Structure 1
């Protein structure tokens, strides 16, 4: 027997608003209301900023099933798409952040153009370069006056330097692209502010692609420029792909470095075990996977819309209805992870959904994993007495953005 929860629209007051707030003093955990909804049903309705009531997928099994379903679309131009904010006019001419918000076959065609640098083999070849960056930034921290803001001194520059190297973007411009990236991922940015920042970055990347046409190098933007020159890829799309990779390549990893460090500092036994076993590649890898599961950097849900009627978990998602898949509660599902609210760096958490699932799962996950492995195996070994330089209550968390983390993390040793 199936139901469509048709009473959701009829009883508007009973539909909770989304996104929801985390509990005071519990910055690592999903909002309590999400936990309640997960216990009550695999799917439920929520209310967005525009009054729409899409489906929220509360449990791990249903999340993976829907993320792998070709009847679910990532295209925000489809009617019923549960937009997290007012949609810019830019969408009328295609996504401003390229293939991430496209469906196959166009999604697959464009994604294939940038897959090669993110293969495990190519990423592993970058490990010595990343190790050198991490050590250099730690050296700079150790010679600086304490306390040091770990975000500005370490967590942000490490992935920024890496993605600049991979793309062929001058690191000297990092203040510029980081400033615009913050506007794009900030929840409270207006449509105009977000559109302007996207346009500014697209113009910047377009200029770089133009330079690569005449002076190519050994980098991803040069590869895209070659495709532009051959007529395989419009130059505008190449710049959009550059915007996507530049933002995704540093924002999420930077926040994961800082938030992961804070979580480990609040679990001193786990941190001590990691520090003592920092030369154990299996322990370091499992620590990375567990922190990806336990924390929730992308915390406002993956947005989709149904292209056809879909029957799942006793409900029917009708064509044109929005779907939100919040990985934070999926990764805390007790049916998928034993004692899900406990941090356990020896847990086998590789089946988490932090990077999504299906054809749209994160392209850069091999790079992110490798960077985090280098960071977590090096930082606490080289600074064994690393500790917070302020009370946890004084730390400001990014509740106001689509990417979660901390604004600053003052540390000393």
Structure 2
């Protein structure tokens, strides 16, 4: 036991410490001098999205959020000046268009006085007598004041023997009708230049969708030029259907000093339509008006994001030479009738390629996603999917950041 404690145990501890020391020396002076393996870091290649012009069917349908409103009462105006001689109806009565409400008596101007008998003696001579005259009988005309519209006689402010003047408002008739009306912005007004004649109205919590036959489009009060749809809307030169492009910045991007304004949703006009009689609605109900202003079948189209311009005229940027299809698709055009898609999966152009070439095109209808190319671009030609300098589009999908808590 004494030998184990004095000889064997110390030798064992020395062996352990020696192994530890050798290991530390190897790690510090042998393995530490070897070159580290290269670690692959994150990398990315900037590519320019490219899309091909393809044939599709473009349906120019505009959806507008609207509200059901009661039509304002119509004033009853006196058609003549005079005294009220008779009242046919009182306030609260149901009236029809053209029905008599009250009557106005107007006295005619006096006629010249006629001599009935005169002496044969010359006036001024002795014995001459003054002529005798016939008393004038007053003459009157009677004018009926009629209801301007059908409805309920809401107010009647005239009394018997009251003096009224021409054009004086003497009451109101509530037509009991409704109008659905909603605001439109400048982009929607451009899309409605083709003068829609009717709208499909869907009332929240109301009856089944129904057709509103007469659509009226007019500018806000700040504009002096009204515009109507169906009954005579904003006229486009040439009478053809026209489209619009998304109002992006000028070509050249931020480096060129231009900024990219966002699309303005400020209301610039009002679209309204009289609700047909027999449709049960109430004032204040929400509604959606769907207005279709033209359809173009099997036409050359590109995404709206690829076009810069205004009504009829636009500019696209041709893809540089050497563009390659993006991963996951061949970049080929979509088949005819592919509504809502101008082309297949976008292609990508090298970031170091030559600057894209501008080309003017003629625009037709658009559905808010794609726009018809009337001329200037052939089917299959590749253009930049986004206007140079346009703001980045937020892509749907997973977002970076802390996720929801809990399991």
Give the TM interval when normalised to the shorter protein: under 0.3
Specify which structure has the higher proportion of helix: 1
Bigger Cα Rg: 2
TM-score (norm 1): 0.18
Q: Give the alignment's TM-score, normalised by structure 2.
A: 0.19
Q: Which one has the bigger strand percentage?
A: 2
